[in-house]
Amino acid sequence: MHEVFLDTETTGLSYRDGHKIVEIACIETLDLIPTGNIFHKLINPKRSIPEEAFKVHGFSEEFLRDKVTFDKIADEFLDFIKEKKIIIHNASFDLGFLDGELNSIKKEKMNKKLVIDSLEVARNKFPGVSNSLDALCRKFNIDLSRRDKHNALLDCELLREVYINMLDVREPKFNLSINSLDQNIISTKEYNKKILPISEKEIKKHKEFKKNELKKNFY
């Protein structure tokens, strides 16, 4: 199953208080590796932007005036996330706004069964400390230099890195520079080493290990 890392920026703290979404971003991954598919929209909330919200994300009412409204991008958004696992940091916040916006145009609410709240994951792993996205990035030495203001697309990228670290899953890294070719090429001597056959018992144990680890880490 594909995953989607999702984040929103808004005009305030609660849809019930009349606040709206001004930015929505999604990054699609497969086994936590980006596929290259991205959904990113700036949205005209059709209302004023409080100064407090402007200080957070930097989107002014004037800047958003010519952007699309949520109803114009709803179907594209729903198609993008359809049948994918959705990973959100502090999911109740974003889901509250998304459900409110979808309900206002008579669309079905988000499927909560597909949502993973990475904040809850963090609280279970690191109880009693701050588990904000910033705090987790600092914990895992993830570069925050680009995050002078909140940005939904950048926050999705940061959240993916945080989530990988929380699951202790490492991405493969390859050094393909010309100067390091001698380190990357396996010698003929190593290739000629005797390869021992794998027994059926070992194959069975490996399959069981993979199944249990995937279930524990991803589901």
Residues 6+ apart with CB under 8 A from 162: 89, 118, 122, 133, 136, 137, 140, 142
Cβ(28)–Cβ(37) under 8 Å?
Answer: yes
pLDDT, mean over the chain: 85
Tell me the mean pLDDT in the region 57-68: 96
**For the domain bounded by 2-167, which CATH number is listed?**
3.30.420.10
- pLDDT, tens only, 157-206: 999 999 999 998 555 444 444 444 344 433 333 334 444 455 566 656 65
Helix (H, G, I), strand (E, B) or coil at 32: coil
Pick the residue with more confidence: 77 or 214?
A: 77
Least confident range of 7-11, 45-49, 119-123, 149-153 = 149-153
Domain ranges in the chain are: 2-167, 187-218
- pLDDT, tens only, 66-116: 999 999 999 999 999 999 999 999 999 999 999 999 999 999 999 999 999
- pLDDT, tens only, 124-138: 999 999 999 999 999
Pick the residue with more confidence: 33 or 217?
A: 33
* Catalytic residue set: 150
What per-residue confidence (pLDDT) applies to 156? 97
Residues in the chain: 219
Q: Which helix (H) or strand (E) holds 213?
A: helix 200-218
For the chain, the distance separating the N- and C-terminal CA atoms, rounded to the nearest angstrom, is 11
Pick the residue with more confidence: 27 or 210?
A: 27
What per-residue confidence (pLDDT) applies to 191? 37
Would you say residue 148 has pLDDT above 60?
yes
Q: Where are the alpha helices (DSSP H) in 8-141?
A: 51-57, 61-64, 70-81, 91-104, 118-125, 133-139
Confidence band, pLDDT 50/70/90 cuts, at residue 52 = very high
Helix (H, G, I), strand (E, B) or coil at 132: coil
Count other C-beta atoms under 10 Å from residue 78's C-beta: 14
How far is the CA of 79 from the CAs of 60, 73, 117, 132, in angstroms?
29, 10, 21, 29
